Structure 1
Amino acid sequence: MGNSVMLNGVEYAGEQIAYKDSTYELVSKVAYLIGVPLRIFQNEHEPPKIEIYNRLEQDKNARIIRNLCIIRTAIERNYRKINDIMRMEYRGLLSMPEIIPASSMQQLSNDGISFIKKSSTKLCHHIIEINRLISDRINNCKSLFPIWINWAYIKELFIMPNGLTEDGTKDAADIYYASLSYYPYQMYINWVPMDEGNVLYNDKKFATLLYQWHCDAFTEYSKVSDAGAFVKTNIYDFIDDSEKTVLVVDCENSDPYKLCATLKNLDYEVIQKITAIILFDDVHTATAWRILENYTRIPVEHIMIERIKQNKSLVDIKLTARACQEHYQKQVDSFVIVSSDSDYWGLISSLPDARFLVMIEREKCGPDMKAALAESGIFYCYLDDFYSGNCEDIKKNALFKEMYRWIDNSVHLNVNDMFDAALRNTRIEMSPAERRQFYEKHIRHMTLTIDENGNVSIELKRG
C-alpha cells in the first residue's frame, strides 16, 4: 500500500485520506478480543471505542477469549524470563503477578476456566493449553461479528499455527519477538508480520488488509464507512433552512435497505423535521418497502401505482403530480428526492420556487444526470456512501416479516378442529380426560420437518 493518494488531482497523506470516514466497530471488537489494554479504549484519540469494550465486557464468551489472549501474549513477550523463574525459583504462573496479569487469571477463574494442569511441567505446555482453549472457544464469538465479514479470516487471527505442539509454540514466539513492533498494540495475533502501520486503524483499513492477507479482496466498503461530514452537513443545512420538507421516493429506482441505512445514520433530531415520507411504489416492488415504517418515526405514506401496460410504469407521473400538490396546497418548499432515474428532472423543472436535494445510487445514475444537477446547483449524494454495516439486521427483519406473511396466507390449521374431525371420522369416543391426555401427549408437541427440496410436513408425536 502506498504512502499517498491522489484526490481531485492533489496528493495527500495516504492513511488519513484512503481510510477517511471509516467506522470502528470491527477493530474495536478485534482489539477487545486480542487483549488490547483498557487504557487504549479510554483514550479518545485511539481507534478502539470504549462503548464496545463495555458491551463486550458483559459477554462471557468474549471475556474468556480476551483474557486467554492477554495471558498468551504476556507469556510470549516474557518467555525467557518466565521460563528462568519457573526453572530457578520453582514459581508457577499464579505467583508472577508482575508478569502475568492477576486480573485476567482471576476473571478466567470466575468464568470457570483454568489452563494450568499438573502435567504442565514446561512453560510451552501452558501455551499449548491456552491455544487449545482458544481454538475450542473462538467460534463462540462468531455472533459478535456481522455475516458480511468472512469469519474464517478473523478466526485465523486467534489460532496459533501448529500451536498444540512444542515446535509450533516456539516458532510463533520467535516470529512474535522478532517483529514485536509490527503487532497491533504489541498483542499476539496469527499473521505474517509486516510494517502496515496500525492494522486496527479503522474498519476500512482492517477489512482491506484482512482480505489481502488471504489473497482476497474486500469490496463492501459501505459496510465499513459512513458518509463524511461534508455530505451530512449539507443534508442538515438543507433541512434546517427549509420551512417544510417532504422526502419523496421513487421505489422502482431506489434500494429500500440503503435508504433505511441512510436514515439510521443521520442525526435523529434533524431528520425528524421532515414532515412526511411519500413512497411511490409499483406492485412489482412493494414488498421490500414495507420495512421502512419500522425504521423511522416520520409518517410514511405508501402510494401504490397501477400499471396500464405491464412494461410501462406511471410512478414518475404520479410522483410529479403529488409533489406539485404538496408544494402548492400544503406549502412544502423543499423536497428530498430519492431516485436514480433521470425522469424526476421534469419535477425539478416544473417547480422553480422549490428547493431540491437528491439521493442517488452510484452505479444507477448516469453522468449526464449528475452533471445537470451540479450545473443547476442542486446538491446530490450517494446512498451507497452511508454506513450499511447494520443492513443485515434490516434485511433479516424484512425476510422474517415476509415469511410470516407467507405463512399466515398459506397455513390455516386449527388442531382442535383437526382432532374433532379425526374422532368423528374414526367413530372413536373419548372422555374429556382421555381427550386431554391424548392432546398433551401427541398433538401439542407436533413438529415440522423439511425435506431436501424444502417441502414441509407436520408430524405428530407417536411415542
Structure 2
Amino acid sequence: MEAAVFEQTHPPTGKIQYKDSTYEIVSKVAYLIGVPFRIFENEHESPQMAVYQKLAQDKNARIIRNLCIVRTDIERNFKKINDKMRMDLKSIISLPEYVSASAINELTADGINFIKKSSTMLSGHIVEINRIISDRINNCKHLFPLWLDWQYVRDLFIMPNGLSEKDTKDAAVVYYESLSFYPYQMYINWIPQDEGNILYNDKKFVTLLYQWHNDEFTEYSKVSDAGSYVKGNIYDYIADSEQVVVVVDCENSDPYKLSATLRRLNREYLDKIKTIILFDDVHTASAWSILEKFTSIPVEHITIERIKQNKSLVDIRLTARACQEHYENKIDSFIIVSSDSDYWGLISSLPRARFLVMIEREKCGPDMKAALTDSGIFYCYLDDFYSGDSEELKMNALFREMRIYMEQAVKLNVNAMLDDALRVTRITMPYSERKQFYDKYIKTLQLVINEAGDVSLAIKVK
C-alpha cells in the first residue's frame, strides 16, 4: 500500500480546503480502530458521540473495536508485556496497566477468546488477534455506504503478513517508530507519514484513503454538505415567506439530489413549505414517483404526456401552475428546482412573488446565474448538499424497477412445473411423497447467475 503526496482538485472551484465536510465515515473508522471514548466525548474532536453510541450496540463492530484496542495496547507496550510474561510468568489478562481489561472482558462476553494455550509467546497473541480480525472484519461492511470502496477500508485493519510471528514484530517496529503519525496513536495498516489528523473529517480521510491505493476520489458531495451560508439564506427566505411552494422541473433536475437537499434542511423550516409540485415528463427518472416517501412535505406529482414526441410541455405547465398558485392561492414565495433558463420568463412575469432557485452546477449556464444575481435572487447548488442521504431513495428506486422487470420477465409456476414433470416421466406420487419432494427440492430452488448476468434456476441435490 503506497501513500503519496497529492493536490486535491474539484472542478471548477479548484483546490479543496476540506470545508463543510461530514463526519460519518471518520466516526465509524475511529470507533472500529479503537479510538478512546474520551475523544468521542470531546465536542472539539471529529469523531461523533452519536456514531459511537450506535456502533456500541452492534456486536460485530464492538468485537472489531475491542480486538483493535488490545492489539494496539500490545504493540505499544510490547517489550514491557513480553518481559512480564517471560520473567514473572504473567498472563496478559493480569496486566491491566498495559492491556485494556474492559476490552478483554467485553470480548469474553461476546464469545471471543484470542488467548490460546498453544500461544506461549506474546507475538502468538497478536497472530491470533490478526486471524480473528481478518475473519470478522467483513461483518462490518454493512456499516459503510456502497459508494465507498470497502476493500480500501478493510485493508486498514489487516496487518501485513499478520499470521507470521516474525512479520508481526516488523509491524510493531514500524508502529513504534512512527507512533505520533497514527490516528490517535491507534494501529492501522498504512505507510505512516505526517498527514496531520487523517480522521479530521470525511472529505480528508476518504481522499487520502483512495490516494493510498493509487486511486482518486471525486464524489465529494457524498462527504460534504452545504455550508452555513447557503443553508442560512434558505432558512431566511422561508422565514420571511407567508407560504412557500416548491415547483420542480423533473426533466432538468435530479430526484436524488433534491431528496438529499430536503433531508439536510431543518424540519422547522420545511414545515412552512405547503407542497412540492413535480412536473414530470413520461421519459424522466422513475424515482420521482416515490419521492414522497422520503420527505415530510406533501407531494403532488403531475405526469405530462407529450402531444409531439420531440416536444415536452413541462415548462409550459409549470409556468401556468405557478401563476395559478400565486394569483388564486395567494402563494407569495416559490422555490424553483430547475437548471433551465426558460424559467426566467416565469420569474420576470410575477414581480410581486419571491423566488429562490435550486440548480445543478453542470446544467446551468452562466447567463442564467448572472441574471439571477443581477436581480437579487438567491440560488444554490443541489450538488453542494450531502448526497449520502439519497442512498435510500436510490435503493428503493432500483428495487422497484427490478421487481417490475422480474414480474414481466419471470412467470414460472412451480406447481405446474412439477405436474408437467410427473406427467412426462409417468411417475405417480401420493400426496405425502409429493409434499416431501416439494419441500426438499422445489422450495430450495436456487438462482444461479453466470458472468454474463444470465439467470437460471438450479435444483439443489445433496
Q: Return the TM-score normalized by structure 2.
A: 0.90
Counterpart contact for 2:155–2:189, Cα < 8 Å: yes
Residue in structure 2 matched with residue 195 of structure 1 by the alignment: 194
Equivalent position of 2:41 in the other structure: 42
SS at match of 1:269: helix
The equivalent residue for 2:389 is 390
Question: Does residue 276 of the first structure (1) align with residue 275 of the second (2)?
Answer: yes
Q: Which residue of 1 aligns with 2:398?
A: 399
In structure 2, the CA distance between the partners of 1:215 and 1:417, relative to structure 1 (3 Å rule), is: closer
Contact between 2:119 and 2:125, CA under 8 Å: does it hold in 1?
A: yes
In the other structure, the counterpart of 2:176 is 177
Deviations 1:232-285 (A, max 9, x none): 111111112111111001101101111111111111221121111111111111
Per-residue Cα deviation, 1:272-303 (whole angstroms, up to 9, x for no partner): 21111111111111512112111013221111
In the other structure, the counterpart of 1:136 is 135
Kindly tell me: are residues 433 and 159 of structure 1, through their superposed partners in 2, closer, same or farther at Cα, counting changes over 3 Å?
A: closer
> 2:47 and 2:36 mapped to 1: Cα distance?
10
Equivalent pairs: percent with the same residue?
Answer: 70
Q: 1:57 to 1:347 in 2, by over 3 A?
A: same
For 2:17, the aligned partner's letter is A
Equivalent residue, structure 2, for 1:305? 304
Deviation at 1:339, TM superposition (A): 0.6
What is the CA–CA distance in structure 2 between the aligned matches of 1:212 and 1:426, rounded to whole Å? 62
Listed as ranges, the gaps of 5+ residues in structure 2 are none
Q: How far does residue 79 in structure 1 lie from its aligned partner after superposition?
A: 1.2
Would the alpha carbon gap of residues 461 and 160 (structure 1) be closer, same or farther in structure 2, given more than 3 Å must change? closer
Q: How many equivalent pairs are there?
A: 454
Q: Answer whether contact 2:291 2:393 (CA < 8 A) is retained.
A: no
Corresponding position of 2:339: 340
- How do 1:218-297 residues align onto structure 2 when only pairs under 5 Å count? 218-297=217-296
Question: What does 1:70-149 correspond to in 2, within 5 Å?
Answer: 70-149=69-148
Q: What is the CA–CA distance in structure 2 between the aligned matches of 1:462 and 1:155, rounded to whole Å?
A: 36
Q: Distance in 2 between matches of 1:230 and 1:240?
A: 15
Q: 1:252 to 1:187 in 2, by over 3 A?
A: same
Pick which of 434-443 and 403-412 moved more: 434-443
Structure 1 residues 370 and 454: alpha-carbon distance in aligned structure 2, compared to 1, 3 A threshold: same
CA separation of 1:348/1:146 partners in 2, compared to 1, >3 Å: closer, same or farther? same
Deviation per residue, 1:33-63 (Å, 9 max, x gap): 1111111111111111111111111111111
Instruction: Report how far residue 3 of structure 1 moved.
Output: 12
Q: 1: CA distance between counterparts of 2:183 and 2:435?
A: 64
User: In structure 1, what is the equivalent of residue 208 of structure 2?
Assistant: 209
Letter in 2 for 1:125: G
Q: Distance in 2 between matches of 1:187 and 1:444?
A: 49
Cα separation, 1, equivalents of 2:47 and 2:321: 47
Cα distance, 1:126 vs structure 2: 1.4
Once the two structures are TM-superposed, the CA of residue 111 in structure 1 deviates from its matched residue by 1.4
Distance 1:409 1:276 in 2: 35
Cα deviation, residue 320, structure 1 = 0.7
2:17 matches 1:21: no
1:389 alignment partner, SS class: helix
Could you say what secondary structure the match of 1:291 adopts?
helix
Greater mean deviation of Cα atoms: 257-266 or 135-144: 135-144
Deviation of 1:162 after TM superposition, in Å, equals 2.3
Q: Does the residue aligned with 1:226 lie in a helix, a strand or coil?
A: coil
Structure 1: 5+ residue runs without aligned partners? none
Shift of residue 436, structure 1, vs aligned partner:
6.1
1:316 alignment partner AA: D
